[in-house]
Amino acid sequence: MAQLLNESIQNQIREVFADLKEPVHIIFFGSQENCDYCDDTRQLAEEVVALSDKLSFEQHDLQAEPALAAHYHVDRAPALVIAAKDGDTITDYGVRLTGIPSGHEFTSLIQDILIVSQRDSGLSPQTRAFLKTLNQPVHLQVFVTPTCPYCPRAVVLAHMMAVESPFVQAEMIEAMEFPALADRHQVSGVPHTVINDGAGNVVGAVPESTLVSAIQQALRHQ
C-alpha cells in the first residue's frame, strides 16, 4: 500500500510535533458498510501517529461496537476522536473529525493534535469566561470541503471550544462525504457551523466573539 504522506511532509510534521507536550490518543471508527474513505482515513491517522512517540492509536468498528461509538458520540464513519492520554486514562475532549481530513483539513488534524497535547484551548480570556458559564450541551458541527482554505480556522476554533468546556462537543464534517446531512442543514457554502442541530448557524470562518454570540443566541432560542 502506497504511503499517503511523502517524506517531505513527514519531515515537516515531525518538526511541528517537536512542540508536543503531553500524549495524545487517536481513536478511529470505521465501518464495513458504504465507507469509501475508511481505509484511507485509518492509514492517514496511522502514518501521522508514527511520526511521534507521544501519539498512540486504536481502531474500532461502528457497527460491531455500538456502545463504544455512542460513548464517544460517533455515529458516522470514518471518524477520528482526538483524545488526551495520561497513563492508562483517556480523556475525551469532544474533538472529532467525521470524514477524511484531507486537503486543507489535514491542517485541522495536526492543529487538533497540538491543542490536545497542550491541554489548553488557547482561547481568549473573554471566550473562556463565557464557556465557564455553560450549563447545557453545545454541539458544533462544522461542515467543510477539502479544497476550502478557510475551513480549518472554523474547525479549529470549534475544537478549541470543546477542549475548553466539557459541555461542548465539536465535529468537523466533510460535506461531500455526507451530502444528506449537509442538505438537511442547508449547507450551500463552507465553512458552515451548525449549532445544536440547527438552533443556530454561522457561515464563514468567523472570530471567536462572533461564534460566542451565535452560541448565546442559539441557547436562548432553544
**Residue ranges of domains in the chain, CATH in brackets:** 7-118 (3.40.30.10), 125-221 (3.40.30.10)
pLDDT at residue 34, rounded to an integer: 87
Global pTM? 0.96
Of 73, 74, 71, 93, the residue nearest 82 (C-alpha):
93
- What's the pLDDT at 222? 79
Give the per-residue pLDDT at 66: 96
Given a cut of 70, the residues of the chain with pLDDT beneath it are none
Q: What number of other Cβ atoms are within 10 A of residue 55's Cβ?
A: 21
Q: Helices in the chain by DSSP H: which ranges?
A: 7-17, 38-49, 66-71, 105-118, 125-132, 151-164, 179-184, 208-221
Q: What is the pLDDT of residue 149?
A: 97
Three-class SS state of 74: coil
How do residues 38-70 score in pLDDT, each as one tens digit? 999 999 999 999 999 999 999 999 999 999 999
Model pLDDT, residue 84 = 98
pLDDT at 14: 97
pLDDT for the residue 134: 97
User: What pLDDT does residue 1 have?
Assistant: 74
Q: What is the SS3 assignment for 118?
A: helix
